[in-house]
Structure 1
């Protein structure tokens, strides 16, 4: 499948955009007119640069406000079109995008429009130019793709075809069944964009909130399968207007865009294998060369979480207070240790490996604590979530898929007799590793020693903070790499503004990862590219247990400082739920929060923050699948209070 991207998707100069598109691996680009106008380079120089980079110039766009006008205006429009055709000839370009008239159309008459498009086709023939007519969702008289196609069909000119744009079609909820009527050779261009589900005017939605395929709420697999079924064989291009994209790193956005197309391509390829595409068309005319990716199943669970810290004493003390047992130091990496609570595993890594003091815990296991132990809430600590290990059915296939989706492999030193673990960097700079999961202890744990632990405990979920500029990229990353599903997002109030939260989840709930972005992030606040310093906004690891009160009692006995919950919360809790007074007293005593829905109950408590990491202990009763969202403002306010007081 030939891939293309509109230069309007990217930040930077036209030259920087072309370089980024080529480096990412795109086959071609759409030249957005304004990018060319503001460039100091001549059209010929731009074309030469694209050729040097191996990029085809697939579309010149946009040409606006042409048809449905009085004859005097039409003559001026035709002269304007000829000037653009001459420019395109200088650049070796052969296709132009004609948007349906928005501003100057005064005649809503198909015969007039057909005649004017036909005369434009005659002019285009002289220059060897194809005109792709597109219905803008806010066009004055032509706003639906099927009407644009009816007009193109009536024009019956070899130089006049149509452009299909997923945004303009899906934003209006248009019936897509008529796509099957369009011969592939009359679709002169295809533009793709996804979008979040928003209630707003379609023009603002289009200009500011488009995202790459897989980062929004639309079924673009179905859309592309329908278009492929027509026999279309041209470029599959991205046209995304997004304020964040146009402020973000150019190269990174280009890679994200190509990843979205490769993921979508593989989805359509898989659908065709299941004979899904032919159901849309009644025939099989697919001419796109759709390349598959190695198939991966959703993860079976989380093998481990790795935390990097320069405050070993505070971190390991808190882990111990939560009931984890020290397994041991890595046999060849003395600065790495493993902790375990049932099937919940935490790998703790020190950047420098200072001297440690060994103490004996109440359960007779020997634990390493740093001699110098700053307070848990010390702002000097650089404790952060470094990586996550996922248990997958086929680690090799998962890794191969990840590399084909333009990720960067994490460099890892290992001895010849150690388990080979491979992983890639996530958009926030953390590490994602793939391990063969079969329900037993993973093989790599033998490198730390053996501590049997059959307690009913595991990692329940991991809450990750994401930089605002790369939030959508993170959604696509976990969707495309691990086949996780993005659940509907919600906004949670905090003292510093609304926090957007979206859960990435496997169907069975074995993997749950809320992704959060806060309005007080600066664009680079969370950058951890290739292991750089920690995130500045808290992230947390939630540990499941079968008895929250026993866990809390153990934690208190070991000196854990809970995140304090105000009395007002428990008074409100009593008003919302008919709880027994004894239960309410126990919740209050242990700073435990409570939620309930039709499926079950959820009890949880939080620790203080070390660096940018804190912990949550949870107990799910019966079928509760949420995360205690009504309690999130309480936790955020308590953390804000603690941070401002420290």
Structure 2
């Protein structure tokens, strides 16, 4: 399908919005009325500007509060409509969007509504423009797409058709079955937006919380497939009202928007398939590559002088050698940590700056990333054959799974030692990686890891913090061997750290076979552990059926505990050093969560530690 975006989805002037959309690769745009009114360019000038950038003006929007009114009001509405239809014609837009009336409608009569749309259709046809009628979820009398279709069908005018908007349909949980009964030629326009599933009135939900496809919880695959099956031949256009997107760089936002459309088409075609020929071949498939299978390496940047060596030795890591650019490699089992120095540059990222992922077909994964507008970064010191810039300050490496026990790139580290014997390993895998995210890049990052690395997003959580709420999103592969946790820290926390989001602490969670033994080793080797309050352990006895002796052992080692119906979870934390800290975890049974109820206590303890 042709890719389009509404100018209301981007920040900046109209000219900046059009330039960003064209640079990203969109085929067309919807011109939002307010953007046009504020522009110094005439409608004809805007149309020429868009076409010179290689884009079509697909639609002019919105025209409001037209139908369902008394005759006296209807005459005034026709005068307004004529003026806006003239603007649409000057823009070169073949369509004008008509929203169902939310303010001035006083007559709930489908016959009258159809007749008034028919008159508007005549007015539009005279100017070579068509009307795309959209049911707003909060419409006065028309609030569902099936009702809008009934009125359009009754109007029976060649210049009057439907605009189907995923938000208005899915926010009302409308059944999608009727879509397939609508002739594709009567669907004049399709607008798409994702959103989180929250309890909020539709208007507020729509105006502030829309997201790009793949960033929310709507069933956009089912929606897209249903529209494709009708034979709809128009564009798929993003219309997103979002407080964050209105403050971010329009060039980056436009790229993220086009990535989301390509991902939606691909996942729809892949999920629904062409097995019965029902899905339109207009849905473009991307290069197929399986999800990330495991972590290859984690690259951590530390200041010129750092004190992590003692922590690594206490955890059982072996120093494997140094590279030509001064990076050090430490490993244990399948955990490989590359430590690099950031130097004296206060603006350089510190903490987790690179993550390598194993994939079955790296070249296919690289092609897919390019199709999703994520291209290789060069030069880059990471050992992966392809490196992408992920949202935030992290670079993502695409690596082939090692043929033997270890990847070939380890040989680049001079003086490389042999790996430690398996029997001596306290740590044997990376349980998860937690990455801090700037509030501006959070939704972009969710889409990046979903669309490019094939990770599945779990329901997001808001975790209490002394300075606000931490918004947390887990993305994982099906096997649970790759888990990435994205955390948006409270603004006050980010601003209190030099360098902002680039220096907000992230952490690596290491899986231990015996967390008690691992933590004792850290203690014996002088690695500072995060100290937890007595109140936490007193509360454990009341929350869970644990013996006082067991709780006393947890307390002595500052180990936290959680349990659900699937199993148990044990976790402990080192103190933050060089803007990174380590979490030691042990999962018992089939526990798949992350101890969210412990997070407020842990965060409070870290804040105390930072200021002690």
Structure 2-normalised TM-score?
Answer: 0.95
- Maintained 8 Å contact 1:388/1:432: yes
Name the SS for the 2:583 alignment partner.
Answer: strand
Paired residues in the alignment total 605
**Structure-2 residue corresponding to 1:504:** 475
2:353 aligned with 1:386, yes or no?
A: yes
- Maintained 8 Å contact 1:308/1:385: yes
Name the SS for the 1:335 alignment partner.
Answer: coil
Aligned partners of 1:484 and 1:394: how far apart in 2? 16
**Structure-1 residue corresponding to 2:288:** 295
- Maintained 8 Å contact 1:225/1:277: no
**Structure-1 residue corresponding to 2:378:** 411
**Structure-2 residue corresponding to 1:462:** 433
**Structure-1 residue corresponding to 2:314:** 321
Deviation by residue 1:168-189 (Cα, 9 ceiling, x = unmatched): 0000011110101111111110
Aligned partners of 1:342 and 1:69: how far apart in 2? 73
Deviation by residue 1:11-60 (Cα, 9 ceiling, x = unmatched): 11000000000001100100000000011222122112111111110000
Superposed counterparts of 1:314-353, under 5 Å: 314-330=307-323, 333-351=324-342
- Maintained 8 Å contact 2:384/2:397: no
2:432 aligned with 1:441, yes or no?
A: no
**Structure-2 residue corresponding to 1:475:** 446
Superposed counterparts of 1:148-547, under 5 Å: 148-275=148-275, 278=278, 286=280, 289-330=282-323, 333-351=324-342, 383-412=350-379, 421-438=385-402, 440-448=405-413, 449-453=416-420, 454=422, 455=425, 457-520=428-491, 535-547=502-514
Aligned partners of 2:557 and 2:269: how far apart in 1? 53
Deviation at 1:210, TM superposition (A): 0.3
2:104 aligned with 1:107, yes or no?
A: no
- Maintained 8 Å contact 1:266/1:291: yes
Name the SS for the 2:518 alignment partner.
Answer: helix
Aligned partners of 1:640 and 1:518: how far apart in 2? 13
Alignment counterpart, residue 638 of structure 1, candidates 592, 605, 610? 605
Deviation at 1:322, TM superposition (A): 2.3
- Maintained 8 Å contact 2:401/2:407: yes
Deviation at 1:269, TM superposition (A): 2.4
Structure 1 stretches of 4+ with a deviation exceeding 6 A read 379-382, 522-528
- Maintained 8 Å contact 2:366/2:398: yes
Deviation by residue 1:221-247 (Cα, 9 ceiling, x = unmatched): 111111010000111000000011101
2:564 aligned with 1:571, yes or no?
A: no
Aligned partners of 1:220 and 1:72: how far apart in 2? 41
Deviation by residue 1:600-641 (Cα, 9 ceiling, x = unmatched): 221111111123211111111222111111111111001111
Aligned partners of 2:561 and 2:142: how far apart in 1? 54
Structure 1-normalised TM-score?
Answer: 0.90
Deviation at 1:483, TM superposition (A): 1.1
Deviation at 1:317, TM superposition (A): 2.6
Unaligned runs of 5+ in 1: 279-283, 355-378
Name the SS for the 2:502 alignment partner.
Answer: coil
Name the SS for the 1:242 alignment partner.
Answer: coil
**Structure-2 residue corresponding to 1:374:** none
Unaligned runs of 5+ in 2: none
Deviation at 1:446, TM superposition (A): 2.4
Name the SS for the 1:293 alignment partner.
Answer: coil
Name the SS for the 2:491 alignment partner.
Answer: coil
Note closer, same or farther for the CA distance 1:218–1:512 as it changes in structure 2 (3 Å cut): same
Compute the RMSD of aligned alpha carbons: 2.2
Aligned partners of 2:587 and 2:493: how far apart in 1? 35
Which range is displaced more, 296-305 or 120-129? 296-305
- Maintained 8 Å contact 1:467/1:527: no
Deviation by residue 1:541-589 (Cα, 9 ceiling, x = unmatched): 0110101111112111211000111111111112222223332222111
Aligned partners of 1:420 and 1:251: how far apart in 2? 28
Deviation by residue 1:110-133 (Cα, 9 ceiling, x = unmatched): 111111111111111110111000
Aligned partners of 2:458 and 2:263: how far apart in 1? 19
Name the SS for the 1:212 alignment partner.
Answer: coil
